């Protein structure tokens, strides 16, 4: 059997789970009474909001930094690690690096909300604000790697990152072995790709559904084109789903094409309504990217009657100001 071109295997996901054990949370999977009744299904919520950094990104970042230390020794990272991020990955790298005794510098675009910047700085990392897009922030990352000898911890496009996120899929099937479908926010593809690889590796019949923004969705446009393309970033309630996938993408584009069964885009209004619903009925404050699974169920009228379905609540990195914007939009 040929090895996958993307480098993510079920074995690498199990290895990642072993590596990150004790460093990240094994998050709860809870049944939503409200959503189960609403959709005549068994609807479960995977609470990655319970991670110490408030989002799933901690899994991949911890796995990669720990793996590099295992492979090359701690001294190999003495000059520090760096990345560009829309917020959650930067916070995850800062947290994981601090836990593992490695300095970190996080490059962020000007579009990243101030609350996420403050959260990263509070973890002891150095923050640099560069440009109006993640691609521009990555130009500074490239300079830090080339000129200052730092080590890149990419937000998504690496087998170690995707394998770390894939540990979520293992937990899903341990808690609910008979799942029929999982709805996952899709941007760079590390989350969906990793979870999808785990699910398909154990139960190939599970339906993996990707959810992207209605505008500025690089993975959506790239899949339509058949190769990675650039898109213009736009402000969104689902800002964590913004950013490009990289024209030289070497992992997640192929991985997503392999494991994803269907794909939907959701509007800002649908995201806003979903954020408000989740707070009102589940008492959970989530960011827009975490609410896109529910947004897709409603906006596209997806028929899940009689199925066991999981939604990935990927993070809670939302300011009260942003949530208030969502609430006002939902009232229209």
Q: Which domains occur in the chain, in start order?
A: 10-55+159-330 (3.40.50.1100), 57-152 (3.40.50.1100)
Average pLDDT across the chain, whole number: 93
Q: Which of 12, 32, 46, 57 is catalytic?
A: 57
**pLDDT: is 55 or 135 the higher one?**
55
pLDDT tens digits along 154-196: 999 999 999 999 999 999 999 999 999 999 999 999 999 999 9
Q: Looking at the DSSP assignment, which residues form a beta bridge with residue 46? A: 29, 312
**What is the rounded average pLDDT of the residues 87-94?**
89
Residue 318 and residue 309: Cα distance in Å, rounded? 25
How far is the C-alpha of 247 from the C-alpha of 235, rounded, in Å?
21
73 conformational bin, left if phi > 0, alpha if psi -120 to 50, beta if neither = left
Query: 21 has which bridge partners?
Result: 24
Q: Please compute the mean of the pLDDT values over residues 74-85 and round it to a whole number.
A: 92
Q: Average pLDDT of 112-117? A: 80
In sequence order, which ranges of 2-99 are alpha helices (DSSP H)? 10-20, 33-39, 57-72, 88-99
Q: What is the pTM of this model?
A: 0.93
- Angle CA(79)–CA(187)–CA(195) in degrees, nearest 5? 85
Dihedral Cα 54, 162, 276, 279, nearest 10 deg: -40
Percent of all residues in the chain with a pLDDT value above 70, rounded to a whole number? 98
Q: How far is Cα 277 from Cα 270, in angstroms, rounded to an integer? A: 10
Distance between CA atoms of 77 and 88, rounded to whole angstroms?
22
Tokens of residue 130, six digits? 């560069």
- Average pLDDT on 10-14 reads 97
Secondary structure letter of residue 315 according to DSSP: B
Q: Is 57 a catalytic residue?
A: yes
| Mean pLDDT within 258-263 | 98
Least Cα distance to 167 among 65, 18, 30 occurs for 18
Give the residue among 314, 233, 299 at the shortest CA–CA distance from 269: 299
pLDDT for 12 beyond 60: yes
Q: Which residues lie across from 182 on neighbouring strands?
A: 208, 310
103 — pLDDT class (breaks 50, 70, 90): very high
Tokens 């490239």 found at:
142
Mean pLDDT of 16-28: 97
Q: What is the pLDDT of residues 188-217, one digit of tens each?
A: 999 999 999 999 999 999 999 999 999 989
| pLDDT given for residue 104 in this prediction | 97
> In the structure, what pLDDT confidence band is assigned to residue 269 with cuts at 50, 70 and 90?
very high
Task: Indicate if the pLDDT at residue 3 is higher than 60.
Answer: no
Q: Contact 59/83 with Cβ under 8 angstroms? A: no
């Amino acid at each position: 059997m040929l090895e996958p071109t993307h480098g993510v295997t079920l074995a690498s996901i199990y290895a990642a789970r072993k590596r990150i054990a004790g460093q990240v949370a094994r998050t709860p999977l809870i049944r939503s009474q409200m959503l189960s009744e609403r959709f005549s299904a068994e609807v479960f919520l995977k609470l990655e909001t319970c991670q110490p950094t408030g989002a799933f990104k901690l899994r991949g970042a911890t796995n990669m930094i720990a793996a590099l230390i295992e492979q090359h020794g701690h001294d190999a990272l003495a000059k520090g690690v760096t990345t560009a991020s829309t917020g959650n990955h930067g916070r995850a790298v800062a947290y994981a690096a601090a836990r593992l005794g490695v300095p970190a510098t996080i490059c962020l675009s000007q579009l990243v909300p101030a609350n996420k910047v403050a959260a990263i700085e509070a973890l002891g990392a150095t923050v640099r604000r560069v440009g109006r897009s993640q691609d521009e922030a990555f130009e500074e990352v490239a300079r830090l790697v080339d000129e200052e000898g730092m080590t890149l911890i990419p937000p998504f496009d690496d087998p170690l990152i995707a394998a770390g996120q894939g540990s979520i899929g293992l937990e899903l099937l341990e808690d609910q072995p008979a799942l029929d479908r999982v709805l996952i926010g899709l941007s760079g593809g590390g989350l969906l790709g990793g979870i999808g690889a785990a699910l398909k590796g154990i139960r190939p019949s599970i339906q993996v559904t990707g959810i992207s923004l209605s505008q500025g969705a690089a993975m959506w446009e790239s899949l339509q084109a058949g190769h990675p393309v650039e898109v213009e970033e736009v402000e969104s309630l689902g800002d964590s789903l913004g950013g490009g996938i990289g024209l030289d993408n070497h992992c997640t584009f192929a991985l997503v094409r392999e494991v994803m069964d269907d794909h939907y885009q959701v509007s800002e209004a649908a995201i806003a309504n979903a954020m408000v619903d989740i707070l009102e009925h589940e008492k959970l404050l989530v960011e827009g990217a975490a609410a896109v699974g529910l947004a897709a169920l409603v906006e596209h009228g997806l028929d899940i009657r009689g199925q066991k379905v999981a939604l990935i609540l990927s993070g809670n990195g939302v300011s009260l100001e942003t949530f208030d914007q969502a609430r006002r939009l939902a009232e229209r």
